[in-house]
Amino acid sequence: MNPSRLGRFEILREIGKGAMGQVFLANDPKIERKVAIKTIVLPPGTSEEEAHETSRRFLREAQAAGRLLHPNIVTIFDVGEEGGVSFIAMEFIEGETLEKYTRPDSVLPLKRVQDLIAQAADALDYAHQNHIVHRDIKPANLMVLRGGVLKVTDFGLAKSPSADLTQAGVLLGTPSYMSPEQIEGRELDGRSDLFSLGVVLYELLTGVRPFDGESISTIIYRVLYEDPRPPAAHNAALPPEVNAILEKALAKDKEKRYATGGEMSADLAQAFAGLPPETLSRPFPAMARQAATARAAGTSAAGPTLRERRDRRGGRVARGQPASPGTAAEPGFAARHSFKIAAVVVIATVGLVVFPRLVNRMEQGRGPAPGERAGDGRPAPGSAGGAGGVATSLAGTAGGPGVVSVDVSTIPRGGNIRLDSTPLAEPRVVLSLADPKAHDIVAEAGCRRAVAAMTAADLASSKGNLVMELKPRREEVMIASEPPGARIRLNGHDTGKLTPAVLALDGCEERSLTLEREDFRRWSASFNADDDFDAMVESLKKIKLVPVPVGNVVVKRPQEYDLDVYEGDRRIGRAGEMLSLTEGKHTLTFKNDKLFVKETVQVAVEGGRSTAPLLTFPGVGSLTVQAQPSNCKVFVDGVYVDVTPVLEYPISSGGHRVKVVFVPNGAEQEVAVAVTGGKNALVTVKF
């Protein structure tokens, strides 16, 4: 099928093809913008009843999805049917899908994965709040644009009535990403989409699908009955908390899953919060990449699943289930050398506790006094002269039995120090050596900040004090409004984003933000470089837009005909009806296309009040057009009317342009005619 037009849209070229139809690049002539047109073509053999039901469901679902306005969802502009072909006109976007980043050799850094999943989760939460379930979340339907914005595509596409789980290539949606309830044909809610998003998250983190197989039946069995391996088995850079997140996201029972995408992305952010910045920003480790590739190719034995690993941590094995591979009767290396391994573990543990403290004591006993120089002439650790001349006179020392105490200084001087979320009275961090947890040491001064994630062991093994260089804060800040959908301007420039959206803001720069949304008053605020950055971030998460007051306009309907009322391209009602409009000036157009009536007026609306402007509309006369020879087409004001002779055609009074085209040779004549109400105007032409 290669149509030249679908509805009002002019087809430019085909840009994609799938099992259920085609995708075209098209032009919307009304506003001269490019759109993507997706068609739905039913497979051969579909009964007339199935075709009718599919078309009806398609139109209903597409119309529902068309109400979704979110910066991370592809906008649907129109939906229709022509020549037995149902189609959706939607936002045309250019980017790349996440499919590119689901292979072991191209997995993204963890920070980027976290950001993309957060955007997708936000879009799904918004859709679910509007009672829309996507049902086909997979990497191919998640597209990343040039600026890093993720868009969820294919909301509202109809499902094939003949979809069969055993027919490869017919099922809409890959079984690897489908929830158990979707495979079983049960009722779906938003948690089904979140299961699919969990599969995508697993794949982005590891380069391996959690449920894969050589046949659809194998994949379906694994989705329904098997648990995937822990993601950390594929990517050693992942913190253990990610295992619990994906275990919850991929739970077979939807009641045990995340209720919202926001909960899942929040847990993921918390899991990654303790990782060093270099771990978050670097690509998939090479060794893990090779191991994942080998596992994806089936060259290594399967390890414990997420649930098996959890059960082992608790000292239990699921009742009635066989031991996993690798627990055969023949003892392994650990069983044969248990005494040696235990001895090594004890020695290593004692060394980790005693050695740092012993080194610290030796350094204190042997090192030069503060201010002296070491034997090679360099400033000794802890002497004035380190860190660009900032005083670093106190070395990390044991602050008591089993405790490490380290002083903190900042560049420039005077930064306030926090340990995690607790402000410190003096710039000194004290931790128990028995505490294995990494803590955030935060230094702040005005709009500058530094963060170091360190354990007690890290501090104990360091020499000198901890010097933190404060740098201007540049953070991804969420801008959200109630209601959503407001256009965001930063420093007077349109960002191209609608709330809710994430913007990168510099803490040490003055900035002004403006939100604009139709029917609401403009919101604006300015922030100085020395303002509280955290307070600003919190305030931008909950901006309340104030609606513009509404007034009413009533325009009396002419006795002889109806009039549609437009504001711009939007039809807002009919003459004779009460029209609710926001306070201010509005340009309204009154149209009756059949009678060639088009009158434009400007009205002033006051909030809370009604106005009834006195407008005069043309009367109705008639038009007769005759031609010799008579094989001619007649156009009035550029619109085709009929072939000659045109007899007493109803038309509004006033001036009109009549064009007559002789069909055999294309010759044409154009005349101006004045129509009087209640009278017939005659036009005669000869060729």
The pLDDT tens digits of the residues spanning 72-94 come to 999 888 888 887 788 889 999 98
What whole-number percentage of the chain has pLDDT above 90? Answer: 37
Check residue 215 and report its DSSP letter.
S
In a domain, residue 348? The reply is no
- Give the residue with greater pLDDT, 560 vs 358: 560
Same-domain pairing of 132 and 215: yes
Catalytic residues: 136
Give me the residue label for tokens 């499902």.
159
The answer to whether the Cα torsion of 674, 680, 686, 687 is positive or negative is positive
CA distance 635 to 625: 10
The secondary structure of 30-99 as a DSSP string is TTTEEEEEEEE-PPTT--HHHHHHHHHHHHHHHHHHTT---TTBPPEEEEEEETTEEEEEEE---EEEGG
Do both 525 and 592 map to the same domain? no
Of 507 and 269, more confident: 269
- Across residues 305-330, what is the average pLDDT? 41
105 and 242 share a domain?
Answer: yes
Task: Report the CATH number that the domain containing residue 19 is assigned in CATH.
Answer: 3.30.200.20
Asked if the structure places residue 327 within a domain, the reply is no
pLDDT higher than threshold 70 for residue 398: no
Do the bridges between strand 439-445 and strand 474-479 make them parallel or antiparallel, or are there none, so unpaired? unpaired
Measured distance CA(433)–CA(453) in Å, rounded? 16
Does pLDDT of 288 surpass 50?
A: no
> What is the mean predicted confidence (pLDDT) over 36-62?
75
For the segment 256-286, what is each residue's pLDDT rounded down to a tens digit? 999 999 999 999 999 988 787 767 666 655 4
478 in the same domain as 463 = no
Asked if residue 203 has pLDDT above 80, the reply is: yes
**Has residue 563 been placed in a domain?**
yes
pLDDT at 175 over 90: no
On whether both 265 and 179 belong to a single domain, the answer is yes
Question: What's the rounded Cα separation, in Å, for the pair 209 and 204?
Answer: 9
Of the residues 451, 470, 489, the one at which a domain ends:
470
Q: φ and ψ at 248, to 5 degrees?
A: -70, -40
239 and 122 share one domain = yes
Task: List beta partners, residue 397.
Answer: 405
The proportion of the chain whose per-residue pLDDT surpasses 70, expressed as a percent, equals: 78
Domain tally for the chain? 6
232 belongs to a structural domain: yes
Q: What is the pLDDT of residue 19?
A: 60
More confident call, 137 vs 303: 137
Assess whether 77 and 188 both reside in one domain.
no
Of the given ranges (110-124, 214-228, 363-377), which has the lowest mean pLDDT? 363-377
pLDDT reading at 377 higher than 80: no
Domain span including residue 681: 620-686
The pLDDT assigned to 208 comes to 92
Is residue 366 situated within a structural domain? no
Residue 218 lies in a domain: yes
Least-confidence region, from 171-180, 187-196, 492-501:
171-180
Question: Which stretches of 149-296 are assigned E, i.e. beta strand?
Answer: 150-152
Residue 322 covered by a domain: no
The whole-number average pLDDT for the span 540-565 is 91
Alpha helices in 14-109 (DSSP H): 48-65
Average pLDDT over residues 526-549: 86
Do 425 and 519 lie in one domain? The reply is no
What integer best gives the mean pLDDT of the chain? 79
Are 666 and 579 in a shared domain? no
* Dihedral sign (CA 195, 200, 205, 211): positive
DSSP 447-515: TEEEEEEE-HHHHHH--S-EEEE-EE-EEEEEE-EESS-PEEEETTEEEEEESSEEEEEETTS-EEEEE
Stretch among 121-125, 148-152, 172-176, 217-221 having the lowest mean pLDDT: 172-176
pLDDT higher at 397 or 297: 297
Question: At a CB cut-off of 8 Å and minimum separation 6, what does 485 contact?
Answer: 69, 70, 498, 499, 517
Question: Highest mean pLDDT: which of 103-107, 246-250, 300-304, 606-610?
Answer: 246-250
Residue 684: band (very low, low, confident or very high) from pLDDT cuts 50, 70, 90? very high
Q: How far apart are CA 24 and CA 39, in angstroms?
A: 8
Pair 646, 539 in one domain: no
Give whichever of 282-296, 359-373, 424-438, 633-647 has the largest mean pLDDT.
Answer: 633-647
pLDDT of 662 above 90: yes
pLDDT score of 371 more than 80: no
Give the pLDDT confidence score for residue 180 in this predicted structure.
Answer: 92
CA distance linking residue 292 with residue 199, whole number of Å: 16
In a domain, 682, yes or no: yes
User: How crowded is residue 475: how many other Cβ atoms within 10 Å of its Cβ?
Assistant: 14
Note whether 12 and 140 are same-domain residues: no
* pLDDT at residue 323 tops 50: no
pLDDT-derived band at 475, boundaries 50, 70, 90: confident
Check pLDDT > 80 for residue 41. no
The CATH number that applies at residue 641 is: 2.60.40
- Look up the CATH number of the domain holding residue 260: 1.10.510.10
Question: Which among 209, 216, 135, 142 has a CA at the least distance from the CA of 172?
Answer: 135
Q: Which of 277-281, 467-471, 539-543 has the weakest average pLDDT? A: 277-281
The pLDDT tens digits of the residues spanning 580-613 come to 998 889 999 999 999 999 999 999 999 889 988 8
- Domain final residue pick, 588, 611, 634: 611
- Considering 558, 589, 611, which residue would you say is the last residue of a domain? 611
- The whole-number average pLDDT for the span 644-670 is 93
pLDDT grade for 424, boundaries at 50, 70 and 90: confident
| Spatial separation of the C-alpha atoms in residues 300 and 304, rounded to whole Å | 13
The answer on 242 and 140 residing in a single domain is yes
Neighbours of 240 (CB within 10 A): 11
The answer for residues whose C-beta is within 8 angstroms of residue 221's C-beta and 6 or more apart is: 213
CA–CA gap between residue 647 and residue 637 (Å, rounded): 17
